[in-house]
Amino acid sequence: MSGGEAETVRFEVEDGIGVITIDNPPVNALGPGVREGIVAAVDKGNADPNVTAMVLIGAGRSFIAGADIRQFGKPRSTPARYSHDVLDGSAKPIVAAIHGFALGGGLEHALSSHYRIAVKEAKVGLPEVLIGILPGGGGTQRLPRLIGPKAAMDMIVTGRHVPAPEAKALGIIDEIVEGKDLKREAIAYAKRIAHARPLPRVRDRADRIAEAKADPGMFEAMRKSIARRARNQKAPYHCIACVEAAVTRPFDEGLETEKRLFAELENSDEAKALRYAFFAEREVSKIPGAPKDLQPSRARTAAVIGAGTMGGGIAMSFADSAIPVKVLDATREALDRGLARVRENYAVSVKRGSLSQAEMDRRLALIEAVDRYEDIADCDVVIEAVFERIDVKKEVFTRLDAVMKPGALLLTNSSAIDTDVMANATKRPREVAGAHFFAPANVMKLLEVVKGTKTSIETVAAAMKVGRDIGKVSAVAGTCDGFAANRSRAPFVTEMMLMLEEGALPERIDGVMVDFGYPMGPFAVNDLSGLDISYDTRKRRAAADPNYRKLHVPDRLVEMGRKGQKTGAGWYRYDKGDRTPHPDEVVKSVIAEVAREFGIPQRTFTDEEILQRLLLASVNEACRILEEGKVLRASDIDVMWLHGFGFPRYRGGLMFWADTVGSRAILARIEEWHARYGARWKPAELLREIAQAGGAFREAKPKRAL
């Protein structure tokens, strides 16, 4: 094959079988030349009298991970012949041989082949919806014909990766290959089916579609079932519409519908935001300046100090990822209580049906309670999660330094204390870093890895690897008050409390943020985590900083015993055993009382003002964080907001969203509020610079190295 095709698609004849190999590292995305290469290879196979059948296979770690996401939104030419049509129109049978991932366009190429075989570990899926588009290579028309519209719709609307054995049960895969050599097995399979006619083409199947006519309500039911999750988004609904077309229209008309709806989505705001989030999540794990050969190994054993809520959640994260973990606490009582809480959490999942009893038992068996430091000395990583008192934390690190084996990774989950304090309590500060989890630690995906002044790059990389191994998205932050994630969110919290005093009620503010796309409003979330959590921090700050602006409303609620759901009342009132928040007159009167006392004039707010008051305060602080070099890149802040605070993914993240408002408009707004509300709204220097240059927040570079 000539030109670029030669590099990405190979064609060789082995034993009478034409083997088409996609070789486009790292994941065989359908980048420039790949589709054309497939077309040319199929033509070759059909023209060669020695070839009786063909195999489509991927080199390296995967079959095909889908279209090249970097090419979306850019102009491209219409091919003379579509590779899908060429595959399923081939006169000789084609076997797709799948290992690694067959995703999006990858699975669509497999669906256009006549047979599909896979190794057991392979995964298949149509995850396009997760980047705001839909399968545009016939996937919405072929998959329902192969496995029925209901199962197809489930896969297409969730975008989930389906393991090969399940794919076999569904009918996507014809055979699971047991041997180690997929190519050899595929050639043997191809020889077996080489002369079978007619060729089985998915597009010709009608049996599963006919079956769907019995349940015409299924599409409406699906739309209803996703209404909450998919609000403000188009892609999930367009996916459903395409599957509906597969059931109600002939194949070629269905393809037209798919093409038309795909074109509508490709450049939509949600697709742009989701593509950005995809790449931001891959950037976040890169550490500039790290040696190329730095590849930390997987932690085999872990320890957690402190069996409280956080410690228990962290231990669960390890057990959930099959890593044995020891939990150490000062007293047997604390340990028992902690482990009982862990057991309870797992039991809730079993009751809900999201975890089997056997799996619960397996995970619990991985968590061992210990009460001596010597018992954890051999662990590869230890995470301290004791309460936030400097003397206690220092003591823990002195003891860890004394017992832990050389090279062990020493991490602290502190959210309020400088990582350096703990590092300096040891003789190995290079091996100490922060590992800041977000509550509940076993659920929230974000792990903020905090680089102390002396933390080595190897330690940062190892801590990030631990995060990856336990299924977290790790982002690096520099040490400072609140680090990067909470620090960037703190002004949001301040503004939400201060807007109350000006006349916006919790239910109003929550409503605006839910409409924006958050799963819950910030006051409802605060009721869940507890109003008392930040109460002490506020008192401490007020004592330390004479200019600290007191937040009277939450303080008074806590002093009245309203600490959130756990006390039956907080920002809202709760009926016993029910988590539905009910607006409460008591809260209204506390707000009115504070407003009266401090002479704060009452006014009305637009939804836009509420949204901007909260988010722009944080954008301004994020600019300061970049100025001080406390993150590696602006997009890391977005990843933190997506995975730590439930920011709606289809809005990209805080900085991406800010760019949709525009830096100049934001500066103007912030200057206006600076004049009205004073120092806390002073525009950050970097924000001014970005606005003056007409630049983008998401591309802003930190002003200092971390």
- Residues forming contacts to ligand 3HC in the complex (CB under 6 A) are 26-27, 29, 65-70, 101, 103-105, 108, 127-128, 131, 135-137, 139, 282
Please report, for residues 32, 103, 234, the alpha-carbon distance to residue 36 in angstroms, rounded to integers and kept in the order given. Answer: 8, 19, 31
The first and second tokens of residue 250, run together, are 């002939």
Q: At its nearest, how many Å lie between ligand 3HC and the CB of residue 276?
A: 12
Instruction: Tell me the CB-side half-sphere exposure of residue 579, using CA atoms within 13 A.
Output: 7
If the CB atoms of residues 127 and 296 are measured against ligand 3HC, the closer one turns out to be 127
- Using CA atoms, how far apart are residues 466 and 470, in angstroms rounded to an integer? 6
If the CB atoms of residues 113 and 663 are measured against ligand 3HC, the closer one turns out to be 113
3-class state of residue 622 by DSSP = helix
Q: At its nearest, how many Å lie between ligand 3HC and the CB of residue 148?
A: 20
If the CB atoms of residues 27 and 212 are measured against ligand 3HC, the closer one turns out to be 27
Q: At its nearest, how many Å lie between ligand 3HC and the CB of residue 161?
A: 7
Query: Of residues 5, 36, 128, 507, which has the active-site annotation?
Result: 128
If the CB atoms of residues 235 and 334 are measured against ligand 3HC, the closer one turns out to be 235
> What DSSP designation does 436 have?
E
Q: For residue 485, give the amino acid letter.
A: A
If the CB atoms of residues 70 and 120 are measured against ligand 3HC, the closer one turns out to be 70
Cis geometry, peptide bond prior to residue 163 (ω within 30 degrees of 0): no
Q: Would you say 326 and 379 are in contact if contact means Cβ atoms under 8 Å apart?
A: yes
Q: At its nearest, how many Å lie between ligand 3HC and the CB of residue 82?
A: 11
CB 615: neighbour CB atoms within 10 A? 23
Alpha carbon 11 to chain centroid, angstroms: 38
- Using CA atoms, how far apart are residues 509 and 128, in angstroms rounded to an integer? 33
If the CB atoms of residues 101 and 657 are measured against ligand 3HC, the closer one turns out to be 101
Q: For residue 451, give the amino acid letter.
A: K
Q: At its nearest, how many Å lie between ligand 3HC and the CB of residue 83?
A: 11
432-437 and 446-451 strand pairing: antiparallel
If the CB atoms of residues 137 and 506 are measured against ligand 3HC, the closer one turns out to be 137
If the CB atoms of residues 103 and 475 are measured against ligand 3HC, the closer one turns out to be 103
Contacts 24+ apart (CB under 8 A), 344-353: 345/312, 345/316, 345/442, 346/316
Instruction: Tell me the CB-side half-sphere exposure of residue 234, using CA atoms within 13 A.
Output: 16
Q: For residue 74, give the amino acid letter.
A: K
DSSP character string of 327-377: EE-SSHHHHHHHHHHHHHHHHHHHHHTSS-HHHHHHHHHHEEEE--GGGGT
- Using CA atoms, how far apart are residues 288 and 299, in angstroms rounded to an integer? 23
The verdict on whether 108 is a catalytic residue reads: yes
If the CB atoms of residues 139 and 506 are measured against ligand 3HC, the closer one turns out to be 139
Q: At its nearest, how many Å lie between ligand 3HC and the CB of residue 70?
A: 5
As to burial, measured by CB atoms within 10 angstroms (0-12 exposed, 13-18 middle, 19+ buried), residue 495 is buried
Cα angle 567-571-575, degrees, rounded to a multiple of 5: 50
Cis geometry, peptide bond prior to residue 198 (ω within 30 degrees of 0): yes
Q: At its nearest, how many Å lie between ligand 3HC and the CB of residue 285?
A: 8
If the CB atoms of residues 33 and 139 are measured against ligand 3HC, the closer one turns out to be 139
Cα angle 264-269-270, degrees, rounded to a multiple of 5: 90
Q: Convert 73-107 into a string of H (helix), E (strand) and C (coil).
A: CCCCCCCCCCHHHHHHCCCCCEEEEECCEEECHHH
Angle between helices 607-627 and 685-692 (to 10 degrees): 110
Residue nearest to ligand 3HC as judged by C-beta position: 104
Query: Of residues 108, 244, 431, 507, which has the active-site annotation?
Result: 108
If the CB atoms of residues 25 and 678 are measured against ligand 3HC, the closer one turns out to be 25
If the CB atoms of residues 656 and 681 are measured against ligand 3HC, the closer one turns out to be 656
Name the residue among 594, 563, 572, 562 with its Cα closest to residue 507: 572
Residue that the structure tokens 């590779």 belong to: 83
Q: At its nearest, how many Å lie between ligand 3HC and the CB of residue 123?
A: 8
DSSP character string of 22-75: E--TTTT-B-TTHHHHHHHHHHHHHH-TT-SEEEEEESTT-SB--B-GGGTTS-
Q: At its nearest, how many Å lie between ligand 3HC and the CB of residue 267?
A: 14
Q: At its nearest, how many Å lie between ligand 3HC and the CB of residue 660?
A: 23
Q: At its nearest, how many Å lie between ligand 3HC and the CB of residue 279?
A: 6
For 567-592, letters b (16+ CB in 10 Å) and e give: bebbbbbbeeeeeebeebeebeebbe
The first and second tokens of residue 94, run together, are 């084609």
Which residues are designated catalytic?
Answer: 108, 128
